Amino acid sequence: MSKRATRIARGANTKQQQSTNIAVVRGALVAQPTVRVIDRHQRATTFDLATLVGGRRVVVPVVALNMDLPLIKVGDEVTVVGHVRRRFFRVGPRTQSITELLVEQIVPGTKSARLEKLFSTVSARTRELRSAPLTRDKE
Domain range annotation of the chain = 20-131
CA angle 34, 80, 130 (to 5 degrees): 135
Q: What's the confidence (pLDDT) of residue 59?
A: 95
Facing residues of 51 across strands? 58
The superfamily (CATH) of domain 20-131 is: Nucleic acid-binding proteins (2.40.50.140)
Q: What's the confidence (pLDDT) of residue 138?
A: 58
Q: What pTM does this model have?
A: 0.68
Q: Which residues of the chain have pLDDT under 50?
A: 1-12, 14, 16-17
Q: What's the confidence (pLDDT) of residue 3?
A: 47
| Helix residue ranges per DSSP H, 1-139 | 3-9, 112-131
Q: What's the confidence (pLDDT) of residue 110?
A: 72
Name the nearest CA neighbour of 76 among 104, 111, 109, 117: 109
Name the nearest CA neighbour of 126 among 23, 2, 52, 31: 23
Name the nearest CA neighbour of 135 among 9, 3, 18, 20: 18
